[in-house]
A and B are shown apart, each in its own frame.
Chain A
Amino acid sequence: MRDLALLLSPRIMGVVNEMRGSATGARKRRWILGGVGIAFWAAMFLVSARVLRYFQSVEVIGDVLAHHLLSMILLTFFSLLIFSHIITALSNLYLSKDLELCHATPASLEELFLSRVLYTIVDSSWMVLVFGLPVLMAYAWVYEPGPVFYLTLAHSGVAMVLIAAGIGILFTMVLVNVFPAHRTRDILMLLVILMVVALYLLFRFLRPERLVDPDAFFSAVQYMSALKAPDSPYLPTHWVTEVLWRHLGGAPTPYYGFHMVLLWSTALALLVINVWIAEAIYFSGYSRSQEAKRRRAGGAFFLGLLRRVFAAPLGRDLAAVADKDIRTFFRDNSQWSQLILLGALVVVYLYNFSVLPLERSPIRLEFLQNQIAFLNLGLAGFVLSAISVRFIFPAVSAEGRAFWILQSAPMSMRRFLWGKLAVYAVPMLVLGEILVVFTNRLLQVTPFMMTLLAATMFLSVFGIVAMGVGLGALYPKFRYENIAQVSTGFGGLIYMMVSSLFMAAVILLEAAPVYVIFMADARGETVPLVHWLWIVPAFGLVLALQAFAVIKPMRMGARALSENDRP
């Protein structure tokens, strides 16, 4: 066990050193993050306590609901824990850079594996503390159990984490022995995205808004069965729920001790099984993950087609860059798979408009439809900005450490950025017009509104994309572990703010002229000449703003890249 302590020590010492000797900026950031964490924790506790108090006040079914809720919460956390362990185990057991060094030392494989299991458990289960503890503490606050509850919560929580870790790590080891580690990560990423999309679509198409409609359910029994969580006596979360519920005021159960024994015996058995399996297959999986595998490039026809559509009109040098961008995007599973999420987002976006209960509104239908359509421009703009911050803002940073190729190539940074704008504008235009034109059709707006909104969106897309490209060049991050980190940095935040302000300004400038023209149209009148004296300049200002939003960030970005002064 001496080796195990030694293998754990770098992580522990790293944390201690960071705590001790960090710079003032880092310390300040830690305090801010700590503050936000405590505020979040407190908010979760208060909301949970309020919900539970409400349940408690409901006669007959109140406690049943609280019991169901506990079961659902534990099941959700357990599923998340298993998944989190799979992802983290992949990284800790197979992909970490320090593994090479560790495997070369005379430390035993068993202890090395156990040290990585502990890393994985710590990395994966902090989430339970942050999200789970305030909810469970709210149960304690509302139901006021004895001190044994806290002890039971602590040990059954540990057992649940161990079971999730056992399942997750075992699954990872088997998977890596079937596929190479890097491929496994891609497959898992795709599975996560498909799972999220399926849940998102399922949840939306269930129309949860009907739950607040009393006509939707005929009886309390039907309501309860709609809420019933999937449960099974074979699930570890069932054992934990029953054990905890016993302390929270549930009826005494003869299975209390049995559930506790089941919980711990399963946890420890899984740990032992993991060590056995690891002895048999861990090292062979690790070794496979180190082998360089020839990887053929696929999708030549599809990529060739895309290249012809996007790149051909741009000139040979920009065509080369666009071709490279398209190929690298579609060959990176973590990138293209997000398009599935995007597809789901668009479907739900349009679906939401198809189920709007406009007929129940007290406002005149025609007016309301057009008003919503106009505001939809802002919403669609925001959706495009959110997509842009994920896909377009990192476009310059995506060159990564290969950026030297473009810097030393006979192509100006200005031309490079305009090329990026041209390539990204095409899909964004299609998306922007789908969001506006289809929703306008669902809302049955007037031809004037349809034309105006489609034209405004068409022009705004260039601003949104140019700001993404330009600000992305102004705040580049060429050294990243994961491209997603680029969007979540300071530059991404600035982009979202600027882009949202831009769309807000466009809407504000168009609001008054649109109102006047629309009302005149509705009344069958013509707009008086005196109004045109301010309507035309207002639309002129919109055009000027659109042009400014394109030119200014592109210039700033090109200058920043040309004057790049990093050693």
Chain B
Amino acid sequence: MIRLIDLTKTYRGFTAVDGIHLEVPRGRLFGFLGPNGAGKTTTIRMMAGILKPTRGRIELDGIDLAEHPSEAKSRVGFIPDRPFIYEKLTGMEFLRFMGGLYRIDHGVSPEDRALELLELFELSDWRDELIESYSHGMKQRLVMCSALLPAPPILVVDEPMVGLDPKAARLVKDIFRDQAASGTTVFMSTHSLEVAQEVCEEIAIIQSGRIIARGTPEQLGQQAGVDGTLESVFLKITQERMSIP
């Protein structure tokens, strides 16, 4: 479960995230939408423990991130929007590194789990190659392997489909669905309204650092008074908001 309580982030006078309250139950595939610069990535980076909130709290799986950072972080698999990873390691070495960092010692051996994930993401043939020779999409898939490696109860994902080919995108969507079905909470920010509509059970829309709408795609349609795709709902809600002085 994820709880964001009065979450606020201010950079030199500019409020990027403005008092967000949000609760995502266990096993939910939650979409986080918003126009460019709305505060999605800042929220996600705070949830991953990369940025310190100016105000408010983050609870991950019932653990306060500020009070027990290591314990809270060990329950989160984070997938950033850009896969910057250590280019001079091989894919397998990177997963071993992540296994050590997260001190994985449950269930199957970390080595077997890494091999299983590499197989799942079709990277087995490349496991002993240096990451510097991977394409963008391959790096993105490797980061996903590393996030799933500790089998975390929470997945925090920022723009997962960037750089993925249609086959890999389909695979990722299926994996997120399976993860949610097995009890993992998936918190996913995306620009792609099609992806959100297709996989997310619940969606929140953020604009100017505030949550302006929340619900299932159907509920959002009702709120906006629009009977159509998520795209038209999103445009209606965000435009209405912009027109408010």
The answer to whether A and B belong to the same complex is yes
Interface residues of A (CB under 8 A from B): 292-297, 316-317, 319-321, 323-324, 327-328, 331-332, 400-402, 404-412, 562-567
**Which of A320, A404, A565 is within 8 Å of B52, CB to CB?**
A565
A-B contact pairs, 21 of them (CB 8 A): A295-B129, A295-B130, A297-B93, A317-B100, A319-B100, A320-B96, A321-B101, A324-B89, A327-B88, A327-B89, A328-B86, A404-B78, A404-B80, A407-B50, A408-B78, A410-B73, A410-B101, A410-B103, A412-B70, A564-B50, A567-B51
Find the B residue at minimum CB distance from A332.
B88
CA distance A243 to B195 in the complex (A): 74
Q: Is the CB of A402 within 8 A of B52?
A: no
Contact of B101 among A404, A411, A565 (CB under 8 A): A411
- Smallest distance from the beta carbon of B85 to chain A beta carbons, Å? 5
**Chain B min CB distance to A305 (Å):** 16
A407 touches B100 (CB 8 A): no
**6 nearest A-B pairs in the assembled complex, by CB-CB distance:** A320-B100, A410-B74, A401-B84, A331-B88, A328-B88, A410-B70
Question: Are B133 and A294 touching (Cβ within 8 A)?
Answer: yes
Q: How far is the CA of A328 from the CA of B85 in the complex (A)?
A: 11
Q: How distant is the Cα of A331 from the Cα of B99 in the complex, in angstroms?
A: 21
Among residues of A, the one whose C-beta sits closest to the C-beta of B104 is A316
| Min CB–CB distance B215 → chain A (angstroms) | 29
* Residues of B135-156 whose CB lies within 8 A of A: 135
The secondary structure that dominates the B interface is: mixed
- Binary flags per residue of B64-97, CB closer than 8 Å to A gives 1, else 0: 0000011111101010101011101110010011
Q: Are B135 and A292 in contact, with the CB atoms below 8 A?
A: yes
Q: Are A409 and B102 in contact (CB under 8 A)?
A: yes
* B100 pairs with A323, CB closer than 8 A: yes
Which residues 93-144 of B sit at the A interface, judged by CB distance below 8 A? 93, 96-103, 126, 128-130, 132-135
Residue of A nearest to B103 (CB): A316
Chain B residues, CB < 8 A from A292? 133-135
Specify which of A294, A405, A408, A567 is in contact with B42 (CB 8 Å cutoff).
Answer: A567
CB contacts (< 8 Å) of B103 on chain A: these are 316-317, 410
Contact with A along B169-202 (1 / 0, CB 8 A): 0000000000000000000000000000000000
For the complex, what is the distance from the CA of A300 to the CA of B100, rounded to whole Å?
18
Chain A residues near B74 (CB, 8 Å)?
410
**Candidates A319, A411, A563; contact of B70 at CB < 8 Å:** A411
Name the residue among B49, B97, B99 with the largest chain A CB count within 10 angstroms: B97
Q: Which residues from B are CB-within-8-Å of A296?
A: 128-130
Q: For B11, B42, B93, B100, which residue has the most chain A Cβ atoms within 10 angstroms?
A: B100
Instruction: Please tell me which one of the listed residues A293, A317, A407 contacts residue B48 in the complex, with CB atoms under 8 A apart.
Output: A407
17 A-B pairs besides A320-B99, A320-B100, A401-B82 with CB distance below 8 A are: A294-B133, A295-B133, A297-B129, A317-B101, A323-B97, A331-B88, A402-B85, A404-B78, A407-B48, A408-B73, A408-B76, A409-B102, A410-B74, A412-B69, A412-B70, A565-B52, A566-B51
By a CB distance below 8 angstroms, the chain B residues around A409 are 73, 101-102
Bound Cα distance A120, B59 (Å): 55
| A324-B89, A408-B78, A565-B52 known; A295 vs B70 contact (CB < 8 Å) | no
CB-CB under 8 A from A408, the residues of chain B are: 48-50, 73, 76, 78
Determine the distance from Cα of A401 to Cα of B16 in the docked complex, in whole angstroms.
22
Closest chain A CB from B55 CB (angstroms): 13
- In the complex the two chains form, is A407's CB within 8 Å of B88's CB? no
B129 CB contacts on chain A under 8 angstroms = 294-297
Bound-complex Cα distance A328 to B135 (A): 19
Shortest CB-to-CB span from B135 to chain A, Å, is 6
Which of chain B's residues has its CB closest to A565's CB?
A: B52
Are A331 and B42 closer than 8 Å at their CB atoms? no
| Chain B neighbourhood of A297, CB < 8 A | 89-90, 93, 128-130
CA distance A295 to B134 in the complex (A): 9
A319 to B99, CA, bound (A): 11
Closest to A321 in B: B101
Cβ < 8 Å to A, chain B residues 16-50: 16, 42, 48-50
| CB pair B16 A567 closer than 8 Å | yes
* Contact in complex: A405, B85 (CB < 8 Å): yes
In Å, the complex CA distance between A46 and B126 comes to 61
**A404 → chain B, closest Cβ, in Å?**
6
Instruction: Give chain B residues whose Cβ lies under 8 Å from the Cβ of A407.
Output: 48-50
Chain B's closest residue to A293 (CB) is B133
B138 nearest CB neighbor, chain A only: A292
B208 CB to closest chain A CB (Å) equals 16
Contact B100 A400 (CB under 8 A): no
Q: Are A402 and B84 in contact (CB under 8 A)?
A: yes
B97 to chain A: closest CB distance in Å?
A: 5
Contacts of A566 in B (CB 8 A): 51
Q: Decide: A316 and B85 in contact? CB cutoff 8 A.
A: no
Q: How far is the CA of A556 from the CA of B93 in the complex (A)?
A: 31
A319 cross-chain contacts in B, Cβ below 8 A: 100
**Smallest CB–CB gap between A461 and chain B, Å?**
27
What residues on A are CB-neighbors of B132 within 8 Å? 295
Q: How far is the CB of A13 from chain B (nearest CB, A)?
A: 29
**Chain B residue, CB-CB nearest to A567:** B11
Q: Give the chain A neighbours of B86 by CB distance below 8 A.
A: 324, 328, 402
Tell me the smallest distance from the CB of A334 to a CB of chain B, in Å: 11
Q: How far is the CA of A492 from the CA of B176 in the complex (A)?
A: 45
Task: Identify the closest chain A residue to B74 (Cβ).
Answer: A410
Residue of A nearest to B70 (CB): A410
Query: Nearest Cβ in chain B — how far from A314, in angstroms?
Result: 10
CB pair B88–A404 under 8 Å, yes or no, is no
Which residue, of B11, B72, B99, B102, has the highest number of chain A Cβ atoms within 10 A?
B102
Q: Complex formed: what's the CA distance from A410 to B102 in Å?
A: 6
In the assembled complex, how far is the CB of residue B59 from the closest CB belonging to chain A, in whole angstroms?
16
A292 to B126, CA, bound (A): 13
Question: With A410-B71, A565-B11 given, is the CB distance from A404 to B50 under 8 Å?
Answer: yes
Chain A residues near B99 (CB, 8 Å)? Answer: 320
Closest A residue to B94 by CB, please name it.
A324
